[in-house]
Amino acid sequence: MLLPVFIARLLAAVIQPSDTPIVSSTPRPLTYTMRIESQPDMRGATYHIIIRRSARTTKLVYARRDSIRRYFDPVEDSLRREYFDKPPDNKEARWKLIGDIGRRAAENHRRYAAYTKDSIALKNTQVASRRYVALLDSVFLADDDAFHDFSSVRTVKAKTVMVIHATQYRLYREAAGQPVRKAYMTAPDMDTNPLFVRLLTQTLELYRLSHPNSFMDKRYTRDY
């Protein structure tokens, strides 16, 4: 009876405990946030969708811009005055100011906008949610080159196509400890950006299933 005890003590003395923690072979569930933004065109409305994916649930927040409150921004006003003070032949400076004015105006539009908002929550393990959550994970993990920014004039299947009143979309992907990844797309479709179009259309349809004829109806989202 003493021999097994002696061997156990001997092994304990020889084999030192490791400082390396034991890592489970089960992968940790993904936790991240994605944001889809549409840029206004002549017919569609500006809207955005925020997707918050945690270990057990996924929350989808939908928002459509209804109006912009009146505002006065001295910085934007100063940039506009500076633009008109520049001589017409100073094209480089005027083009730079146009970009500065546009970025400042876009920031103010977001700040002073009034939105209609709603949200839904999904349980990731439910059978009805699994395929959608798998799609979210594939979008989040996709390389940047999975999303292409084509202009309104593009060549698709050897044919030149012009898209009238093209809507621009932005996709932001972020997680704790990682830099934000951005993608820009003009009038995305199943030929140019199939992964993003699947994400956009399925996310919108999830809301429409329980909220028909709502503020996220197709007439507000360029038929997506």
Residues 51-106: tens digit of each pLDDT: 999 999 999 999 998 888 888 899 999 999 999 998 888 888 888 888 888 888 87
Burial of 38: CB neighbours in 10 Å, binned 0-12, 13-18, 19+: buried
Note the pLDDT of residue 71: 85
Note the pLDDT of residue 192: 87
Note the pLDDT of residue 149: 81
Note the pLDDT of residue 58: 97
Note the pLDDT of residue 116: 94
Burial of 198: CB neighbours in 10 Å, binned 0-12, 13-18, 19+: middle
Q: For residues 222 and 44, give the distance between their C-alpha atoms in angstroms, rounded to a whole number.
A: 5
| pLDDT level of residue 26 (50, 70, 90 thresholds) | very low
By the 8 A CB rule, do 220 and 44 touch? yes
User: What percentage of residues in the chain have a pLDDT greater than 70?
Assistant: 77
Dmax (CA) of the chain? 100
By the 8 A CB rule, do 175 and 53 touch? no
Note the pLDDT of residue 110: 79
For residue 203, what is the enclosing H or E element? helix 194-210
Q: Residue with structure tokens 């100073």?
A: 90
Q: For residues 163 and 166, give the distance between their C-alpha atoms in angstroms, rounded to a whole number.
A: 6
Q: For residues 163 and 165, give the distance between their C-alpha atoms in angstroms, rounded to a whole number.
A: 7
Question: Residue 33 in 3-state DSSP?
Answer: strand
By the 8 A CB rule, do 28 and 137 touch? no
Note the pLDDT of residue 164: 55
DSSP annotation of 180: P
Q: For residues 120 and 214, give the distance between their C-alpha atoms in angstroms, rounded to a whole number.
A: 14
Residues 178-217: tens digit of each pLDDT: 999 999 998 888 988 999 999 999 999 999 999 998 999 9
Q: Residue with structure tokens 């009805």?
A: 128
Residues 122-170: tens digit of each pLDDT: 999 999 899 999 999 999 999 999 998 876 555 556 666 555 556 889 9
